[in-house]
Amino acid sequence: MRAVIFDLDGVVVNTAKYHYLGWKKLAKELGFDFDISHNERLKGVSRMESLNIVLEVGGITGYSEEEKQKLADRKNRYYLEMIESIDGSEILPGIPEFLEKLKNKGYQTALGSASKSGRMILEKLGLDSKFDVIVDGNLVERPKPDPEVFVKAAQLLGVPCEECIVVEDAQAGVQAAHAGGMKCIGIGDERILGEAEKVVSDTEELNRVDLERL
């Protein structure tokens, strides 16, 4: 193994809650409730696909693609307003230490996120210099479980996919890693992420994973 590719939301930083609150606010404006159980379906998928799921939850049909784009843009404005004041306190426990450990052991690191705000968020957190490559939603088109975002990161690192490990918190992300020929560490519930080679309950446990034994 030569490289580790990180998802962003729920792995490096706790911005997933802001996406949820943005969708929840939009749903309320559209006349229905969107709760945390519904939000599980949005993990790892693109903005437009997330909107389609939200509309499905609300039983809403009939919007044109142009109208859908306006709704997605509205939600993104809410999200950007919420993360404007984000700082290093939002970095998930153990992540700085894990990144340092990887560097000391000679691993390359990359971000592989569907979020179009990926680079901006890393800059706000002061973590952008810790990643050799940053691939976010501005560089890819196909959402997870398509492996495009991870394959793109591997290509930019110059590392074969089979020598990369992905760190993910979403089932779609685990599936994307495997579709790209990569191994995966899942963060969260083993009942949901059980396809991953290793599942840890939280980010602090990453520092105890033996990467060479995956």
How do residues 18-62 score in pLDDT, each as one tens digit? 999 999 999 999 999 999 999 988 876 778 999 999 999 999 999
Q: 68 with 130, same domain? A: no
Q: Is the pLDDT of residue 15 over 90?
A: no
Do 63 and 138 belong together in one domain? Answer: no
Last residue of a domain, one of 82, 113, 129: 82
Asked whether residue 88 is marked as a ligand-binding residue, the answer is: no
* CATH number, position 59: 1.10.150.240
163: annotated binding-site residue?
A: no
| Co-location of 166 and 129 in the same domain | yes
Establish whether 8 is an annotated binding residue.
yes
Sheet holding 133-135, edge to edge: 133-135, 108-112, 3-6, 164-168, 183-187, 198-200
Q: What domain range includes position 112?
A: 3-14+87-213
Active-site positions read 7, 9
Task: Count how many domains the chain has.
Answer: 2
Is 122 annotated as belonging to a binding site?
Answer: no
Residues 190 and 93 in one domain: yes
Band (pLDDT 50/70/90 cuts) for residue 114 is confident
pTM of the model: 0.85
